[in-house]
Amino acid sequence: MDFERSQRLQKLPPYLFAALRQKMAAARERGIKVIRIDIGDPDTATPDLIVQEMQKRIADPGDPDRHRYGCDRPAAEFPEAIKSFYKRRWGVSLKDEQVSITTGSKDAIVQFALGVMNPGDVAIAPVPGYPTYNIGHVFAGGFTHQVPLKPENGFLLDFDAIPAEVARLAKILWISYPNNPTTAIAPMEFFSRAVEFGRKHNVIIAHDAAYSENTYDGYVSPSILQVPGAEDVAVEFFSLSKAFSMTGWRAGSVVGNASAVSALKTVKDNVDNGQLRAIQFCAAAALNNAETLVPPINAIYQRRRDMAVGALNAAGWRLAKPKATIYIWAPVPERYKGDSGAFATDLLETTGVMVTPGRGYGQWGEGFFRISLTYPDAVLKEALDRIVAMT
């Protein structure tokens, strides 16, 4: 029997990377050797210190709860480490009720929408932007009002472009800097402006800071919680995935406004059972050692960034070196203008290289493609050579 899918699933396009995986599988079936530089999934191994912590914790005979529900026996070390990290990194003091651990930001974004939105509600998301914001809204029975991030504004969200009626009705406004996919960074004044908007319109400002630690050339990324009074309206999503090469471990945090954090925790109580205690201890170890663990990871991305920007610019692109994230966001060649999907498909078919088409991040991502720096230097170089040869 074929069962009908829920209306909420019918409202969603295929998940971006699931669709790319299908494309790649079909290409492989036709004998194409695929070279991936699409998803942001670090190739560099999780640092030894974290892996050793896992080896110790997973086999610790002194911890009889190590195999049991993580939510029932949470490791206090993890939220403590989040608080310590925020204090050291941004000078932000967090109270216990302002902190939730998460199983990574992707889950938490959807869970958060379920916790604060009602059917028919509106939330605001930037486009191009991480598709999961909209997915959360749709799962909650709500709608997304899309706001364009324009190259001429440095891909900063223009608060004045949000219609008054949308501002009045909206429950959440998502922002994300350093930005995926555009790689843009935002100054402190931008975050102040966001908090002001949230306060004026009674909207939760949800800052997705998944890339806050992947920064280069001395750039230091702010936290929205550094804005005085931000905790009145803002929450911040942090993930250990990219900072510590821990994508598969699923660990992160949401901190800030206590009522919003509490709504997320209640959703989590209902839909997950927490994560393995060993992972919680490892996340704590990672955060407590961020100052030594993160720079070597970023040194690798910085080298690859320079290589990628150098190769593309030598071929006629005019890209600035991004100061943050693990991506390169570049215009598609002129003949593909208006069809980044066709560019990505032709590239895959003729060279085997899989990039992420900008359209996958929404209508205003059109005209661009994204390269991820999370692939070995030799793979990235080969892929770049092929891109350049094809264009």
State the residues that interact with ligand MLT by CB under 6 A.
39-41, 106, 180, 372
State the minimum distance, in angstroms, from the CB of residue 189 to ligand MLT.
27
State the minimum distance, in angstroms, from the CB of residue 40 to ligand MLT.
3
* Closest CA relative to residue 274, chosen from 46, 73, 58, 96: 73
Residue 128 or 198 having the CB closest to ligand MLT: 128
Residue 129 or 331 having the CB closest to ligand MLT: 129
State the minimum distance, in angstroms, from the CB of residue 204 to ligand MLT.
21
Residue 117 or 210 having the CB closest to ligand MLT: 210
Name the closest residue to ligand MLT (Cβ).
Answer: 40
State the minimum distance, in angstroms, from the CB of residue 130 to ligand MLT.
7
Residue 101 or 233 having the CB closest to ligand MLT: 101
CB hemisphere CA count around 6 (13 angstroms) = 7
Residue 122 or 371 having the CB closest to ligand MLT: 371
State the minimum distance, in angstroms, from the CB of residue 160 to ligand MLT.
28
Residue 40 or 274 having the CB closest to ligand MLT: 40
Residue 253 or 372 having the CB closest to ligand MLT: 372
State the minimum distance, in angstroms, from the CB of residue 80 to ligand MLT.
25
C-alpha span between 167 and 197 (Å, rounded)? 9
State the minimum distance, in angstroms, from the CB of residue 240 to ligand MLT.
12
- Which amino acid belongs to residue 172? I
